Structure 1
Amino acid sequence: MSEQALTGWIDRSPVAALIVDARSQVVAANVTVVELLESSAEDIMKQPFVQLLSRSGRMFYLGHILPSLQQHAAVDEIYLRLRTKAGQEIPVLLNATYHNTGGVDYYYFAMMPMQRRNILEDQLVEAKQEAEHALAAEREALAELERAKLELEKQQSELKRLNTRLEHLATTDPLTKLANRRAFEARLENNLSLVRRDSMGFSLLSLDLDHFKDINDRYGHDTGDKVLVAIGSLLASMFRTADLAARTGGEEFAVILSDADLSVALGIAERLRGSIEALEFDDFRVTASIGVTTAQSEDTREDLLRRADQALYKAKRASRNCVKYLTG
């Protein structure tokens, strides 16, 4: 990026922005930073960047930010305090990136003022102002920064945990705890990609509980839900981590069998059918019809699903409680 482009970049920036050279000398400043520091562009560009910082900010910049920037070419979301021409300190969130233009190194600084209540450094500033000894003040600053770092890591860990939980909820059927249709279709697309790329075959089972509506109508939806939960537990216990069992509709389920050819898939489907039939309920028994097909390299997702459904319909027409297959 040219120097002219860099200058245009900071002029268009919605936040306070500076460009400094390899010696940390300010070479360009936008209107926002000029107004924030209550100064002029000429005054700002007459001094090194550190002169625009608070005392603690200078130490942190020279001891941490600049070395990190030189090593990694970027720093993100660093708390600093700027110092205005009148001596007022302004907390900001700093992001910085490295650029080389015509063999000359530049750093682009973007600074967003932060609300005072969000800045833990307020307590550090007060402690530093009251400190009589420079070493004690420096130690207090480092301790406060460490507390802020630990708090940030704690918040990031909590955010990661919540994101993981949300992802689980977004891909899990709440009743059976199996994968939902969204997760099933994503895995199906991934497995088809592997078939096309690496010829890693897999098979698909399409399962539908026989006469499930009659169970719901006669015994109630609570009983129907218990049946679905039992089927979900059975499916979860029968298959490998590499496979995927999913609830794809009301009483409809599907199983992706990784690295399984038709003969293996048929054997697994028959064992599954028998295990469902063997489930014990007080007043009725549950059976399932299962359709089986194996993925081909030219298959689309729709091809595979259509073939599995057609195999399932064959099983339904053949008196139910059986396994039927359809090849590509």
Structure 2
Amino acid sequence: MDTQLDTAPCGYFSLSNKGIIQAVNYTLLQMLNFERDELLNKHIETILSVTNKLFFHTYFTPHIELYGQVDEMYFSLRSKDKQDIPVLLNGIRQERDGISCIDCVAVAIRKRIEHEKDVMQSKLKLEELYTATNEANKQLELLHAEYERKQQELIQINGELESFANTDALTGLKNRRYFRVKLLAAFAEFQQEGTPLSLLIIDIDYFKKINDTYGHPTGDLVLAGLAQLLQETSREQDLAARFGGEEFVIMLPGATADEAVRIAEQYRIAADMAQFGGYKITVSIGAATAVQDDTKESLLEKADQALYASKSNGRNRVTHADEVNGKP
């Protein structure tokens, strides 16, 4: 890296498509209090908090993949001593020697934030002066009331849109997209804190036969009824979601392998004893518990393999991935 770029008055780093830091300038190292060899060939998550890791994967990466660049996206980078450094991040996808990379520039904005606070304080004082007369005060109150009303309407609309985007229309449970976002956050907490994390995949046995024999409206009735049962049986900290078709997933924060099997049996027995519009069903369940080598994808894959074992061994049963892999 040439001297001009290395000492430029802004942070610079270059990422591979997998988020690996390939180059970093001296300015950014000084900003974050790292040595160069502490960041090179490390993942960008090394300098991101849990919240910003989620933000990076949810917004930054999809945006740059779609448009090829990101302009002035607000981030907080994490320094070596765990301090949050607010920056404006600019990124652009480029090719060098036939290899795609992402070049990023980070501009520290701490002074800008302090200036904005001063501006806001000055604005508040100015508003106090305007309220010196009764007429101005009345007008401000009317405007404030109108603003609050419209703000509440906007909050309500945004809340409804967010709920619609995250909810499965048929069952009322959270949908696959929402579940994956929450699983990513829970998995990050598991990796950092070591808190147990398990999940279940639940599949209705012979569901196609229900649709073929009684029609899709009956199938929909069964799906909605099972969703309600799962929601009512779940603990407060659990997350039940529809994963697609007749499959449901349940995330169990804090649950060990033994607890996951016990909870799964509760769901299986409850489904076996229930009736949905006069129809009875059974479910097969696959359970998996995270270990340090897991990713969220491997955890889902282990639960899916356990589900396949349950269905292969006669259905209406619970199988933990440890049984499939021969663990005691």
CA distance in 1, matches of 2:193, 2:276: 44
Q: Does residue 322 of the first structure (1) align with residue 317 of the second (2)? A: yes
Q: Deviations over 1:18-72 (max 9, x none)?
A: xxxxxxxxxxxxxxxxxxxxxxxxxxxxxxxxxxxxxxxxxxxxxxxxxxx9994
Match of 2:142 among 133, 138, 147: 147
The residue that corresponds to 1:41 in the other structure is: none
Counting only pairs closer than 5 Å after superposition, residues 152-191 of structure 1 correspond to structure 2 as: 152-191=147-186
TM-score, scaled to structure 2? 0.58
**Are the equivalent residues in 2 in contact too, given 1:192–1:297 (CA < 8 A)?**
no
The residue that corresponds to 2:118 in the other structure is: 73
Q: Secondary structure at the match of 1:74?
A: helix
CA distance in 1, matches of 2:297, 2:119: 45
Distance 1:297 1:179, change over 3 A: same
Distance 1:152 1:266, change over 3 A: same
Distance 1:199 1:214, change over 3 A: same
Counting only pairs closer than 5 Å after superposition, residues 1-328 of structure 1 correspond to structure 2 as: 72-75=117-120, 138-281=133-276, 284-327=279-322
Deviation at 1:190, TM superposition (A): 1.1
Q: Deviations over 1:179-224 (max 9, x none)?
A: 1101111111111101110000111101110111110111111111
Instruction: Give 1 or 2 for the bigger CA radius of gyration.
Output: 1
Equivalent AA in structure 2 for residue 323 of structure 1: V
Deviation at 1:281, TM superposition (A): 4.2
Deviation at 1:142, TM superposition (A): 2.0
CA distance in 2, matches of 1:264, 1:70: 52
**Are the equivalent residues in 2 in contact too, given 1:196–1:298 (CA < 8 A)?**
no
Deviation at 1:74, TM superposition (A): 2.5
CA distance in 2, matches of 1:325, 1:271: 14
Equivalent AA in structure 2 for residue 273 of structure 1: R
Equivalent AA in structure 2 for residue 230 of structure 1: G
Deviates further, 276-285 or 257-266: 276-285
Distance 1:71 1:273, change over 3 A: closer
The percent of aligned pairs where both chains have the same amino acid is: 42
Equivalent AA in structure 2 for residue 73 of structure 1: D
Residue ranges of structure 1 left out of the alignment (5+ in a row) = 1-68, 77-94, 97-136
CA distance in 2, matches of 1:252, 1:179: 13
CA distance in 2, matches of 1:194, 1:290: 25
Deviation at 1:75, TM superposition (A): 3.9
CA distance in 2, matches of 1:142, 1:280: 63
CA distance in 2, matches of 1:281, 1:242: 26
**Are the equivalent residues in 1 in contact too, given 2:222–2:277 (CA < 8 A)?**
no
Equivalent AA in structure 2 for residue 287 of structure 1: T
CA distance in 2, matches of 1:300, 1:230: 32
Tell me the number of residue pairs that the alignment of Structure 1 and Structure 2 aligns: 204
Distance 1:155 1:310, change over 3 A: same
**Are the equivalent residues in 1 in contact too, given 2:274–2:280 (CA < 8 A)?**
yes
